[in-house]
Structure 1
């Protein structure tokens, strides 16, 4: 896709600080990082949701995440990582699947938190049954 910035990066034509590349994926530094070492991992083939595409694409992306996290760990010695993938129109303006790999430190100012509530026995049973029915 000519108008996709991440496709241009995957093709080697975009402006990115590439950290790692293989036949199916590319990892590069986020141009607006939350913290030092904040990286993005993308499939080279354009897709909007890594989890809804081919299983082999998701496997390749998550293998690269592991490889990049190990390199970030050795280079930056963070206390841990936050890794997340978001999809759909509510998550931003990039329509090429990508996963954030964010090295974490105490007091880094990054907040990846979800509001929590209690799950009742009845609601848990209903939701689990509905999901299991899809397998």
Structure 2
């Protein structure tokens, strides 16, 4: 599949470093894993995103379904190991209901007894804490030095 980039798409912009709202814990030619700014159950909330633009799961070519699910599984295992979660909730929305960014992504939500999930996190986590979590998750994913991204607006 050829790489598709949609400027203005939140995740395409994050993958290519045009925005830097969420620290990246992993990237390769196929996927990126970001630490989410809003964490409904505490540290370790991650987003698994394909490096190319695809709107939702029905639009994902069948030969890429396996690799995408393997990356979500790998992230789920890493989140549990790195952040002491006793489980994860992995979810993905299709279509307008429940989806705010029309770019395929899996939410990997760490779970712990009594965590109160489901609930929405109202306050974003400070960037220093997100960066710390991204470093921890990068190590757990076997990617201790994720490719650095330029700050938005810099060449």
Q: Which residue is 2:23 aligned to?
A: 17
CA distance in 2, matches of 1:56, 1:21: 20
Is the 1:24–1:57 contact (alpha carbons within 8 Å) kept by the matching residues of 2? no
1:50 is aligned to: 57
Q: Secondary structure at the match of 1:90?
A: coil
| SS of match in other structure, 1:110 | coil
**Structure 1 position 75 matched with structure 2 position 82:** yes
- Residue 20 of structure 1 contacts residue 68 of structure 1 at CA under 8 Å; is this kept in 2? no
Report the Cα offset of residue 31 of structure 1: 1.4
Residue number in structure 2 paired with 1:115? none
1: distance between equivalents of 2:77 and 2:18?
A: 26
Bigger-Rg structure (1/2): 1
Which structure 2 residues correspond to residues 60-99 of structure 1 after superposition, within 5 A?
60-99=67-106
Query: Match for residue 131 of structure 1?
Result: none
Three-state SS of the structure 2 residue aligned to 1:91 is: coil
Which 5+ residue runs of structure 1 have no aligned equivalent? 113-135
Give the secondary-structure state (helix, strand or coil) at the position aligned to 1:61: helix
Structure 2 gap ranges (5+): 1-5, 120-155
Cα RMSD, aligned residues only: 1.6
- TM-score by length of structure 2 reads 0.66
TM-score by length of 1: 0.75
- Aligned residue pairs total 112
